[in-house]
């Protein structure tokens, strides 16, 4: 069996590491019937700290194909990926195409599979923020609709699909397969948790356990909106008077801030370059609170039992809000400050929604059962 795995963004590298590890384990004990995973890197996120190091740290096999598509707008990026992915897919002729999440890479891979009539697997299916102004929402809705197998991280994602009328006929004669397998990011967190805690020392950032706030900011809806940036950074200025604020910031985002509202808004904050995945997990697990506009970090905060304040007006990870671990504060200074003042860890996670850390194993078994 040949699976063409299409990746391009940092969260996809993380998720892929869980499946690649299970595939390697399967192949060790089934050498007469191995799974051949062919990895394609679109290039969507690519520099040494933001891409290569993820493969190195997480033990992901080096990509078989690198498309080198990055640094252009949504339409051009998706179009170039389509063209290059079609050539690679026709050359490899896999039994399955596998995509993760909701990026332009996801959509391009899904469209190529559909056009070439190759069965498509979507990992992290069924998520909805119900905001079609988000490029990610458009990507995930379209990808779900043309997928053959949809692996959902939660029952809520299953419910979203059912509410939209799923399953549909994906090939004209076969109904889509939909499964709640849990969240593959939990697999990765559990796999590396002890190593991260024991081998990565907080002293490199000159902070101590629970004595700092961790913040990330990267979404265009925030960074391209001067009013929203002012609201968020004004709140961080106030927070920095009481807490150490650690803020990994991509140079591109810093340039946007300098150009639009001025670098003075970053004074008092501990700005650091983007950090590799395992180091980021160390910062997350020991923070007092996490402030972020990242979807993945909302979940990671939940997995680490750290309260989260989300700098967005909606989230696809609704369970984190419903269970009291996440507050949607948007870009409003008053709401951000009020959320931090009232932050607390709920007493229990009795209704744990994201599985038990065996999502990758379930996914591979389901694929084997469908072959």
Catalytic residue numbers, as ranges: 218
Structure tokens at 94: 């896999």
Closest to 127 measured CA to CA, from 75, 180, 174: 180
Separation of alpha carbons 245 and 233, rounded Å: 11
Phi, psi angle pair for 317, to nearest 5°: -100, 65
Separation of alpha carbons 200 and 275, rounded Å: 12
Structure tokens at 95: 């039994």
Structure tokens at 307: 């309260």
């Amino acid at each position: 069996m040949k699976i063409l795995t299409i990746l391009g963004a940092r969260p996809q590298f993380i998720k892929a590491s869980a499946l690649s590890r299970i595939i390697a384990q399967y192949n060790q004990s089934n050498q007469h019937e191995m799974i051949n995973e062919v990895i394609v890197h679109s290039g969507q996120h690519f520099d040494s700290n933001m891409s290569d190091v993820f493969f190195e740290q997480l033990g992901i096999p080096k990509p078989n194909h690198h498309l080198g598509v990055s640094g252009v707008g949504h339409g051009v990026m998706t179009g170039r990926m389509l063209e290059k992915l079609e050539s690679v897919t026709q050359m490899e002729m896999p039994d399955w195409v596998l995509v993760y999440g909701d990026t332009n890479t996801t959509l391009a891979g899904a469209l190529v599979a559909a056009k070439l009539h190759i069965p498509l697997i979507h990992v992290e299916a069924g998520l909805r923020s119900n905001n079609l102004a988000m490029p990610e929402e458009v990507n995930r809705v379209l990808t779900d609709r043309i997928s053959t197998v949809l692996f959902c991280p939660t029952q809520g994602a299953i419910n979203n699909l059912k509410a939209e009328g799923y399953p549909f006929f994906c090939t004209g004669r076969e109904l889509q397969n939909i499964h709640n397998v849990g969240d593959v990011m939990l697999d990765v967190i559990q796999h590396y948790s002890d190593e991260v805690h024991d081998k990565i020392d907080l002293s490199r950032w000159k902070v101590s356990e629970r004595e700092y706030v961790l913040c990330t900011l990267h979404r265009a809806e925030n960074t391209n909106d001067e009013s929203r940036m002012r609201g968020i950074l004004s709140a961080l200025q106030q927070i920095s008077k009481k807490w150490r604020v650690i803020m990994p910031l991509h140079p591109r985002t810093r340039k946007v801030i300098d150009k639009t509202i001025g670098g003075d808004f970053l004074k008092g904050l501990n700005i650091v370059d983007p950090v590799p995945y395992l180091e980021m997990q160390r910062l997350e697990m020991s923070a007092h609170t996490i402030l972020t506009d990242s979807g993945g970090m909302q979940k990671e905060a939940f997995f680490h039992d750290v309260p989260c304040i989300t700098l967005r007006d909606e989230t696809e990870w609704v369970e984190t809000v419903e269970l009291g671990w996440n507050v949607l504060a948007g870009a409003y200074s008053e709401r951000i400050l009020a959320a931090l003042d009232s932050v607390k860890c709920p007493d229990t996670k009795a209704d744990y929604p994201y599985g038990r850390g065996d999502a990758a194993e379930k996914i591979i078994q389901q694929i084997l059962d469908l072959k």
